[in-house]
Structure 1
Amino acid sequence: MKNSLQYRLISWIAGCILAIGAIAGFFSFFGAFQQAYRFQDEQLIQVARLINSNRLALADAGVLSSPGANGDSPLIVQLLGNPQYRGNLPLPRNLANGFQTVDIAGHSWRLYVKQLNSGDRVAVGQRTEGRTQIARASGLRTLMPFGILLPVLIGLVVLAVRKTLGSVDRLTSELDARSESDLRPLDIAAAPHEIKPFLLSINRLLQRLGRAPTQSLHR
């Protein structure tokens, strides 16, 4: 089977398709993963801007700041150094402005710290576990087309190779069906260009075999 021309062509082409698909899938997944992370960072910035513009009251920040009994809230918003609200995370007061990832209460948090116009400093954050799950799901969704298209593409390659080499199979069947005395040339009009020299050699051989009895009689 490994000496089959069809097997070799299909194996090489399918291998190239899978290799290129794997590389493209990796970059697609990684790009979507990073984009999802950037989008979530932008959400933290937008929430901080809403608070700074007083579109979101600081009292509302206290409601959002509680991570809940199980610590599974997707978002926390709280003023640094403000013990006014119950359930606030123990955030250090000396957190630098901007983005940072810190370990708090046994969990990793992605925080965005901003100084408000009032002089207060607010921290907006999310658990990194939840962010990673969202980013991973976004990346996996980009792989779905590869999982569908790659098998389809390989199937088309198999059909194309078999159809292309089908003329060779027909010539083989024609030769097998002939009697020993049938030395007519093969019809190579539909044969692939690459194997026509080989088929022409077979036709020349058949011609020589057809002349052989006549030449032996003249001797």
Structure 2
Amino acid sequence: MTRSLRARLFIGLTSIVILTGAIGATFAYLWAYDEAIEIQDSVLIQVGAFALGAPFKENQAVNGVDVDSEIGVVELGNAPRGPADMRRLWVLQDGLHNDSYQGQAVRVLLRTRPDGSRLAVTQSSEIRTELAGNMALRTLLPIAALVPCLMLVIAIVIARSLGPMVRLADELDGRRADDMRLLATEGAPSELQPFLASINGLLARVYAMVDQQRHFIADAAHELRTPITALSLQAENLDSVDMSVAARERVNALKRGMRRTRQLLEQLLVLARQQSGLSDKTERVFLDRVAKGVVADLWEDAAVKDVELGFTVADEVEVDGNSFALTSAIRNVVENAIKFSPDGGTVDLGVTREGAMAVVQIEDSGPGIPPADIDRIFEPFFRGSQPSGEGSGLGLSIARRAIDQAGGVIEIENIIGRDRSGLRVTIKLQAARVEASQARAACNESLP
């Protein structure tokens, strides 16, 4: 049995329409059939009344009567005579009778003239049945045409009635996991109001729980940053202490662990800052300068892995956004590219303006992302189905949030080629409009 509410409504309503139409068609057919028989009897009576005025000759046509009706007038005379059929008809009383004449069943009307002579008006019963059936079938045509029309109307009404529910489902499916905005109830059908109220109540409870977790993460990260920083300084001071090779390796492992912990805490603080709305301040940002600053900061990390880090193009482009958030977004993407690029690989950045959009593109020479992970790669703490190396899974999530808050989009695609592989991350932001005075000044400076 189908679980679709739309299918159930359509099947139920169309079944009612078909059943009602069948019952109505049956009664309409029977009524029309009886009416057609009565009409033919009336024709016999009218022909009989006309024939009383003068005797009819044998095989004389009846004027005004359809030939296909096969109506005939038989003169019976003043006494029983002739064939047995005529003698049997003569003895019948005046009126309508079902009898036989010349070997076929007929409907016959007997009439007597004032002079005592009698006549019979006959019509084949087979023809009467055929004519009545045809007339009755014609009455079913409107019903036969109406049923499909009603089914179409029912389908349209059901689709329009369930439209708000379908749109609501599409809206919920299209939302990000962290979008806790309440659903609009204004204009929604009254039947959906309790449903919307329940969903909004659930969203409010989930938002309160998530907000509580955000505050906990932010507070914990903030409280842990100070002791981690102190431990890192103490570990750095051990560099001047004379110790064995084994002890030095343990100190280096400790320093790597604390560096990773400090990086995780910094990312958690950035994430908490984004979620709390503290990074919503908008200013004019030179995107090319931000990208160059990120490359300068990460140059040493790339050199450790012998990764070639540089620009393919770096056009001057301005955007309206938060400098800290955009720097964090680009930095996290570039850090990811360096981390997953093999030793001796390349990471290329490009900053350009395409029409009204500012575009930052980062390409690496790593293995790319498994297709099954692409849809989840922006989820917090998701490190892929085959995680490798150090990382918390927050970098791309932070970048996505920062770009979303700036009104842009970030796209990821694998680079598939005959002689290369890797990952391409494209960030698109609305480019800031240059004021006319600034444009004129730039033009004047370029003149000799």
Q: What is the TM-score when the length of structure 1 is the normalising length?
A: 0.85
Distance 2:132 2:84 in 1: 24
CA distance in 1 between counterparts of 2:182 and 2:13 reads 33
Q: Which residue of 1 aligns with 2:4?
A: 4
Confirm or deny: 8 A CA contact 1:18 1:150 kept in the other structure.
yes
Please tell me the residue identity of whatever aligns with 1:38: E
Instruction: Give unmatched runs, 5+ long, in structure 2.
Output: 62-67, 217-448
Name the count of aligned residue pairs.
Answer: 204
Q: Please state if 1:77 is matched with 2:73.
A: yes
Please give the residue correspondences for 1:128-139 in structure 2 after superposition, counting only pairs within 5 Å. 128-139=125-136
The structure with the greater share of residues assigned to strand is 2
Contact 1:108/1:128 (CA < 8 Å) preserved in 2?
yes
Amino acid at match of 1:13: L
Match of 1:109 among 89, 106, 111: 106
1:176 aligns to 2:182 (yes or no) = no
- Picking from 193, 199, 204, the partner of 2:201 is 204
Query: For residue 20 of structure 2, what is the amino acid of its counterpart?
Result: I
Deviations 1:52-101 (A, max 9, x none): 2x1xx3134x2249xxxxxx970121123354xxxx78231322221111
**C-alpha distance in 1, partners of 2:19/2:28?**
14
The verdict on how the C-alpha distance between 1:89 and 1:9 changes in structure 2, with shifts beyond 3 A counting, is farther
Equivalent pair of 2:29/2:140 in contact (CA under 8 Å): yes
Post-superposition Cα deviations, 1:134-184, rounded to whole Å, max 9, x if no partner, equal 101100111111111110111011011101101111110111111110111
Amino acid across the alignment from 2:13? I
1:98 alignment partner in structure 2: 95
Question: In structure 2, how many angstroms separate the alpha carbons of the residues matched to 1:104 and 1:195?
Answer: 73
Shift of 1:119: 0.9
SS at match of 1:59: coil
Task: Give TM-score scaled by structure 2 length.
Answer: 0.43
Q: Does 1:29 align with 2:29?
A: yes
Corresponding position of 2:157: 160
CA distance in 1, matches of 2:112, 2:119: 6
| Map of 2:186 onto structure 1 | 189
Paired AA for residue 23 in structure 2? I
Q: Which moved more, 1:27-36 or 1:129-138?
A: 27-36
Distance 1:50 1:117 in 2: 14
State the SS of the aligned residue for 2:73.
strand
Q: Distance in 1 between matches of 2:114 and 2:186?
A: 84
RMSD: 2.1
| SS of structure 1 residue aligned to 2:59 | helix
Where does residue 122 of structure 2 map in the other structure?
A: 125
Match of 2:312 in 1: none
Letter in 2 for 1:183: M
- The 1:89/1:143 distance shift into structure 2, 3 A limit, reads farther
Q: Please state whether the residue corresponding to 2:98 is helix, strand or coil.
A: strand
| Matched-pair contact (CA < 8 Å) for 1:64–1:75 | no
The 8 Å contact of residues 30 and 136 in structure 2, kept in 1 or not, is answered as yes
2:6–2:158 Cα contact (<8 Å) kept: yes
2:182 and 2:125 mapped to 1: Cα distance?
A: 74
Runs (5+) with no aligned partner, structure 1: 66-71
Identity %: 33
Counterpart amino acid of residue 25 in structure 1: A
Alpha carbons 1:21, 1:150 under 8 Å: kept: yes
SS at match of 1:103: strand
- The answer on whether the counterparts of 2:110 and 2:119 sit within 8 Å (CA) in structure 1 is yes
Aligned to 2:43: 43
SS in 1 for 2:165: helix
Higher relative contact order (CA 8 A, sep 6+): 1
